[in-house]
Structures are given as structure tokens and as C-alpha cells.
Amino acid sequence: MSTNGAPLAGLKVVELGTMYAAPTAGRMLRDFGADVVKVEDPNTGDYARQWIPQKDGLSLGFSRLNAGKRSVGIDLRTEQGRELVKKLIADADVVVESFRPGRLEDWGLDPDALHEINPGLVMARVSGFGQTGPNRLLPGFGTVAETASGFANVNGQPESPPTSPPFGFADSIAGLSAAMGVSMALFNRSRTGRGEVVDVALYEPLMFIIGDMFLKYTALGEVQQRIGNSTGAASPRGIYQAGDGKYLSIAASNQAIAARLFAAMGRPEVIEDPRYATNADRLANNDEVQAMVIDWCKHAPREEILAILEKFEVVSAAVNDASDVVKDPHFQERTLVEITGNEILRNTLMPGPVLHMAGYDGPVYDGVPTVGEQTREVLIERLGLDDAELTRLAAAGVINHGGDE
């Protein structure tokens, strides 16, 4: 991994997380230079290795979140395994974990115990409902967070049932939030010398994003319902079908853009009509406004509609599918990256870092580790173990040094 200019170069992270949210946090840190050692069950590995879709037995979702990390196969259910992990953590800056609250406490790997070993340790704990509160012991995956938070209830068309997203939405946002929390804790450590615990509940970052609806209820007594592509805050806004059957989005979310949209439609006088003169007026008559935009979009192919909207500086975009994104020169230059060092994923593209920083070109995603592929490498490098000890631990089932033999 190239660390040239990487802001987190030299940072040592031990990832005890599985599935989606915690590994997302680990990837965010790795994206900016951290050395992420992923501790996995030596026999089964992270369950995410079994996710579909796969190519030649390799999970694409697992690959996206874990390319470039170093996998160490250690059985945390054994006392010897836990002692090895404690030794790794003694020399680490950050631990990211996603066990159900109480599990690490049962294993003697709770924050108090780890801070005895390493007072400067930053520990990010990602769980369904957080480390405190009546629901803290309940299991929770992203789907639970998306429903319990209120998101699914407002997602979808008015006539459709509540809808969960077809991807790891809550998990991804929680992972991003955990990485942000780690960064803040590291900054605070630079002032105090002490580490701390970052407590992330899967549902809370998602609840923040939909937070206006809770104000709407507590201030106005109104429960927000599903309203499709609208936000209920600005009009016109939505997804529209062009004359060639393709879709585009339009967001006339302030007065100037709304006026430019009507001008682009050849109807500049609409903004002077008392029914549509202000955003509040347009929302009160949103069905009529939407009908005008829907009808206008149908008059030409999508590219022609988008060209007109660009000319009038109306915020709009094509509704892209994956093939559209991959072919787009902008995304090719700025966003998409290749996983290298893995023949199965040759020429495979995925989104790279979510942030761009001057002086740092970003990481190289150099391979997807097999379970325990770097166990030998890491335990020799970090703990100074010799071949005899590694062989003994492997024979006892404590470790697996898989592809690294």
C-alpha cells in the first residue's frame, strides 16, 4: 500500500469486526494509510466471505470492504487466542469491534482491561443499539436499524409497503461514523495522551439523517408518511421519465432554480402565478407542478432534456445504473479504482476513498486476503513469535496461517 502523503500512515488498527459496519470503518481508516490487521475466526473467517454475488468463490462484497487489509486467523473463543489478541492490541492505536455488547467483557477484552494494557488505545464499538440503553443487548443488523430508526417507514411510494434499501445502507453510514469517531478520538488523544471508547449504534447515524421527521412530529404532531421521490420540503423535485423511456432527476430546491426550470420548460410565467410563486405555494399545489414537469420531460430524449437543463443551470442528472457509472469519464477519473493483486478480480472496479486530500493520491487496493493469510507475517512482526510457537498454536487450533505458509 502506498503511504505517500497518507494522513494515517503508521497507524495500527486491529479489526475485530465482521460483516459490514465495522469492516467499513476499517476500510475507511485503511483508505487513508492505516495498517489494518483483521482478526478472523481461523476456520470460517468473516461470515461476509459467504455473501453473494461471488466470482469463482470470492465474495465481491467482502472484497470491496477488505481489500488491502491483513488477515490473521485467531480463535477468540480460546484463552490462548485472546492472549495473542491482547498482545496485538498492546501495540495498536485503534481497535474496531462489532460483537454484541457484553461479549468482549465476558472474554476479558473490555475497554477497562484493554486500557490497562494500552492507555492510549482508541476503541470503536459498533453494535445494533449501542452499549447503553434498554435495548443494548438486542441483536441488530442493518435491516433492523433501517426499520427501527423510522427510515423504512418513510421510504417508498405512498401506495407501497415500507421498503428497506437493497444494500447495506445503515451499516455503511455507521461505518463511516465510526471512522469519524476514531479520528476525533485520535485528535483528542494527541492532547490528553489517553484513549477512549467510541460507541456507535447502527441506527443512530441513520436516525440523524432522517431527523427532520422527528421534529415534525414533536413540533407539529404530524407523522411523516411515504411520499415517493419528493421530500415534502421543496417543489418541484423528483425523478422523471424522458421521451426515450430513460429517467433523470431534477432538484429545484430553491426559488432561483425553480424559476430557471420553468424558463427551461418554456413557461417562465409560471413562477408569477400565485399558485406557484413560492415554495410553499408550489408544495400546496404539488400535484399540478409535478404534472407540468412530467409532461415536459416526455417531449424529448433524456440527453436532450439534460442539455436544456444544463443550459439553464437547473440541478439535474441522469438516473444511472452500474454500467452508466463505469462508462462515465468523470467517475473513471475521480472515483473508481481497481482491486489489484488478485487474478479473480482483474479489471474489477469499485468506488475508492470517500474523501480527496491534497498531497495524497489514495491507496492501492492490493489483493483480498484469504482467511489467516498474514497470520505468520503479523505474529512474527508484531509479537516476535518463532516458527516453533506458530506451529504449536496452529496444531492447537488457536491460529490459522492459511496462505502465508
pLDDT at residue 1 greater than cutoff 50: no
Structure-model confidence comparison of residues 232 and 58, the more confident one: 58
User: What's 237-324's CATH class?
Assistant: alpha beta
- Residue 356 CB neighbour total at 10 angstroms: 11
Per-residue model confidence (pLDDT) at position 228:
86
pTM of the predicted model over 0.85: yes
Catalytic annotation, residues: 171
Helix (H) or strand (E) holding 14: strand 12-16
pLDDT at residue 404 greater than cutoff 60: no
Interval 19-32: pLDDT, tens: 999 999 999 999 99
pLDDT at residue 399 greater than cutoff 60: yes
3-state secondary structure of 96: strand
Rounded percentage of the chain residues whose pLDDT exceeds 70: 98
pLDDT at residue 109 greater than cutoff 70: yes
CATH of region 12-208+335-404, choose from 3.40.47.10, 1.10.3720.10, 3.40.50.720, 3.40.50.10540: 3.40.50.10540
Interval 88-97: pLDDT, tens: 999 999 999 9
Write down the domain spans for the chain: 12-208+335-404, 237-324
pLDDT at residue 316 greater than cutoff 80: yes
How confident is residue 374, by pLDDT bands cut at 50, 70 and 90? Answer: very high
DSSP state string for 198-258? EEEETHHHHHHHTTHHHHHHHHH-------TT--SSSSSEEEEE-TTS-EEEEE--SHHHH
Interval 221-279: pLDDT, tens: 999 999 888 778 899 999 999 999 999 999 998 999 999 999 999 999 999 999 999 99
Lowest mean pLDDT of 44-58, 95-109, 222-236, 370-384, name the range: 222-236
